[in-house]
Every structure is written in structure tokens, then in C-alpha cells.
Amino acid sequence: MADILLTHSYHLPYDPKQVRKMQPYPPLGTLYAASALRSQGLSVAVFDTMLQDPAAGIPEALRRSRPRIVAIYEDDFNFLSKMCLTRMREVAWRIADLARSAGAIVIAHGSDAADHAEEYLGNGVNFVLLGEAEQALSDLCSALLQSKDPEGIAGLVGLDAAGRIPPFARRAPENPSWIDLPGPARELIDLEPYRRAWIAAHGYYSSNVVASRGCPYRCNWCAKPISGDKFRVRPAEAVAAEVCELRNRYGAQHLWFSDDVFALNHRWAQQFALRLEQQACIVPFKIQSRADLMTAETVAALRRAGCAEVWMGVESGSQKVLDAMDKGLSLSRIVAARERLGAAGIRACYFLQFGYPGETWKEIQQTIDFVRSTRPHDIGVSISYPLPGTLFYERVKTQLGAKRNWVDSDDLCTMFQTAYNDHFYRALRDALHAEVNSWQASTAAKDDADALRALWRKVIALEPVSRNPEPTAPPARSNSESASQFIPLQRLSATGREA
């Protein structure tokens, strides 16, 4: 039994794309919340069925734990949770309904709950927590368990007697103690299913860890309902100690640092590498960072620390689009980062997005050219996705219809007035992915080259016919004219690689 049952709404079975990838990670944010509650002497259990349908498991967890409080506390360190998928929302509301039926008070926390507090409160949730909420969660649970009035807890949203949210309830809490929290309570969940899934799919076991929280950069499409522009980093020695624990206690053979932006401070990166070297604890890992942070000294430190892969938010090969995004990044810095990482033997990977306002056929071609000229080891392709709280969202919100969130991570639906329709962007994604993947193959069969050409021909054929009507759009071109201006087919050799 436990007074508080913590859970989350992201589950792999509801996301076919992630099932295909099969790279599951435990919910770190939920486990940090568990640590915060236990540090206050509260009784906590965690229900985590990342690899299973939670529909059957939740009733059993409620019967077993008999909690007085159920907290649907999303993993703030998981980019999938930050996508605010409608399937997650449906699962959260189902959990809330089951918990209320079992007599529990329900708390919700996460990006989607922060954006749609009224809807959550109208679907079985008693309280929504805003911002970095470990302290608010602890204060609220303590108050509820002692039958005290929780009014006055910062970052707490609930309905008043009239069924409305009081205006003052929107203030987020100050929570400077995250760095000082004990580590995530991994011992409260079963990690064996994660290990088995990784071994079966990839031949090794990867786990996750986080060194910092938040991001100080202000790309205008990036939603930050939890941390805003705040950034805090844990001491290098503490992170190195956790790396060693993950290897020695839990058997991790690879790590994914779930930070929004890793190695922001080059001195921290050097300290981290030194600590790992001193403890003889080098574990291969991948990170997410920015190209302009990949200086020579930082790349050298990452290599010493065991970094095997860096994912950079490149977004576009058009400087015009990068500037429109307020990315604060030049293409030349990306080129330099790619060269440094390659020279250090670290895989350089790009996050790309298409469909941002102002992007035309010309900018799309520039992105394809840039990918080809710099040859990343891998790419992730998305469509610009307007989420509340961003300048991008404010610019396009009058164009939004009833659907304002993706269903799952492979939805990639355009929800505002883009230059092209969904069929074009998906064809573009498939062709670009296929070409990048072809570079990694040691040999390229003729059938593979023919398949790649077919994908690019589909893109070219769709370009003039799938363009959405727009006052500023250039005149439509014929198929032959499009093909003559689009270079992928001409630059492919008989092997399917670039000539």
C-alpha cells in the first residue's frame, strides 16, 4: 500500500513509430517526483507500464496500492511527452476516471496539462500543477493527506466554488531545489523489461540520465511550459557518479542524456570528462545540443567522456528560415560542428523540420543540398508544430482548426497554412531519410538505388500539385520545370549515392 501512486500517460503501445524504433526509456521526470515525495517522508508507489497497455494495469495498481492520491506526473525530460499528443491526453483522462472511481484525489502535471488545465479539470483531475513542480507536488500531497486547505501553494490550479479557475492560480512556483534532489527513484520500477527490449532490438542495453534542466535559448517555435528559459546544471561529479551507478548497478552499456541542451558550459564538459576518466567509467552515450556549442575544446572533452553521438537542432539548410525561427545559428557554425565531430569520431546527427512559415521550394532545396554537402550520420525529420506559449503559435493561431495536436509522434499533420500539403512533406521525409540511410550502407544494390530514385520522383511529382493556395506563393511550375530545378536525381550515381 502507498498513500500516493505516481504514473504517467506516455506508453509505447500507443505510438507505432516508437514501437518500430524500440528505444524505450524509463520516465525520469516521474521518478524524480517520486524521490521528492519520499524525501518529505511520504509513502509512494510508481505505476510504469511503458511497454504495455496501461488499461489493464491501472485498475490492478489501484487495488494493490489503495492510494489516497494519484498523480499523473509526466516525464518532463522526454521529448515525446513535450509533444502533447492527444493519445496521451486520452490516456491521462482514463487514468483520472479510474482513480476517481477508486476514491483517490487526482493530480496532473505536464506540458499538455499546463496548456489545457481547464480540460483536464473537466475530465476527472482535481488539481493541475504548473512549472517545475516537485516542491508543489510535495506540498500539495502533504496538505491533502493532512486534510489541510491547499490554497496558497504556488503553481497549483484548481476550480473555485463557481467551477472556474481563479486568475491568480496561474503563477508558476519557484523551484530551485531540483539540483539538490536525490536521484531518480529507479528502484521503484522494474527495469528488466527495458533491458530485454533493448537487447532484443539492438543487441545492447541503453538507459537514460539527465545532467541539466531547461534551455536558455529562445527559438520561437520551442514550447517551454515547464522550465521556461531557465537552465540549471548538476555538478559534474554528481553526474559522473550516476553514470557509474548506471553501468555498475544496472548494467547499462549505453546512455542517452535527455537534456534539452548538453554541454552548454565547456568548462563543465571538461570537468565531466575528467571525473569519468578518474573513475575509469567511460560509457558510450548520445546527447542533444547545439552546433554552435560544438567548439574544438568541447568536442575534445565529449570524446574523452565517451560521447558517441550528438543530435543537433539544425532545423533547416536555409539561413532565411533559421533567422525567421530566431534560432541564433549560422549555417557556417553547423558546418564547423559537423567537421569537428566527424574528425573526433563522433556521429553527427541533425534534427530537421519542414513547413515553417516562409519556407518555399527554394528553401527546401537548400536544406536538401545542405544535408547532402555535410553528410550527417542520421537525421530526424518533423513538420513545424505550433504549440501554445510560443511566438510561432501566436503567428499562426488564426489558421488553426479543430485539430491542434498530433495524435502520436508519427502524425506529422500540418495544422496551419503551410506551403505544401501533408502528402508532400511525408514524401519529402521518406526520400531524405532513405538517402541518408543509403550513405551508411557499405554497398548499395541497384534495387535500392532504383527505390531511392522512385522516392525522389514522387517528391518532384507532388511539388507543383500539392502546393497549398497562398497569396504569396510563386506561380505553379510544370513537372518538367520542377524536375529541372530539383537536383536529387541528377546527383545520384548508379549506386544510389551522390555522384
Residues 351-387 have pLDDT tens digits of 999 999 999 999 999 999 999 999 999 999 999 999 9
Q: What is the mean pLDDT of residues 447-464?
A: 91
Q: Does 361 lie in the same domain as 246?
A: yes
Q: 70-74, 236-240, 391-395, 470-474: which has the minimum mean pLDDT?
A: 470-474
Share of the chain above pLDDT 70, in %: 90
The C-alpha cell of 464 is what? Answer: 507543383
How many folded domains does the chain comprise?
Answer: 2
pLDDT of residue 164: 77
CATH of the domain at 34: 3.40.50.2300
Q: Does 268 lie in the same domain as 389?
A: yes
Residue 435 lies in a domain: no
Per-residue pLDDT of 238-295, as tens digits, reads 999 999 999 999 999 999 999 999 999 999 999 999 999 999 999 999 999 999 999 9
Dihedral over alpha carbons 212, 216, 218, 221 (to 10 degrees): 20
Checking if the pLDDT of 490 tops 60, the result is: no
Please state, in angstroms and as integers, the Cα–Cα distance from residue 276 to each residue in 183, 281, 283, 302, 482, following that order. Answer: 18, 5, 9, 11, 53
Q: Does 297 lie in the same domain as 152?
A: no
Collect all residues with Cβ–Cβ distance below 8 Å to 131 and sequence separation of at least 6: 114, 155, 172, 173, 175, 225, 226, 227, 228
Last residue of a domain, one of 173, 192, 216: 173
Residue 120 lies in a domain: yes
For the chain, what is the mean pLDDT? 90
Q: 116-130, 157-171, 308-322: which has the minimum mean pLDDT?
A: 157-171
pLDDT of residue 390: 96
Say if pTM beats, i.e. exceeds, 0.85: yes
Q: What is the mean pLDDT of residues 212-219?
A: 96
Largest distance between two CA atoms of the chain: 74
Q: Does 271 lie in the same domain as 122?
A: no
The C-alpha cell of 37 is what? Answer: 515525495
Domain that holds residue 295: 204-419
Q: Does 299 lie in the same domain as 399?
A: yes
Residue 194 lies in a domain: no
pLDDT of residue 496: 37
CATH of the domain at 267: 3.20.20.70
Checking if the pLDDT of 420 tops 80, the result is: yes
CB 74 within 8 A of CB 84: no
Residue 458 lies in a domain: no
pLDDT of residue 19: 95
Q: Does 254 lie in the same domain as 129?
A: no
Checking if the pLDDT of 399 tops 50, the result is: yes
Measure the CA–CA gap between 24 and 1, rounded to whole angstroms: 28
Residue 181 lies in a domain: no
The C-alpha cell of 119 is what? Answer: 480540460
Residue 388 lies in a domain: yes
Q: What is the mean pLDDT of residues 27-31?
A: 97
Q: Does 348 lie in the same domain as 245?
A: yes
Q: Does 408 lie in the same domain as 274?
A: yes
Residue 183 lies in a domain: no
Q: Does 125 lie in the same domain as 69?
A: yes
Q: Does 243 lie in the same domain as 155?
A: no
Band (pLDDT 50/70/90 cuts) for residue 489 is very low
Q: 117-126, 132-141, 173-182, 323-332: which has the minimum mean pLDDT?
A: 173-182
Residue 457 lies in a domain: no
**7-11, 54-58, 177-181, 444-448: which has the highest mean pLDDT?**
7-11
Q: Does 381 lie in the same domain as 315?
A: yes
Q: Does 378 lie in the same domain as 248?
A: yes
Q: What is the mean pLDDT of residues 455-464?
A: 93
The more confidently predicted of residues 419 and 151 is 419
CB 37 within 8 A of CB 119: no
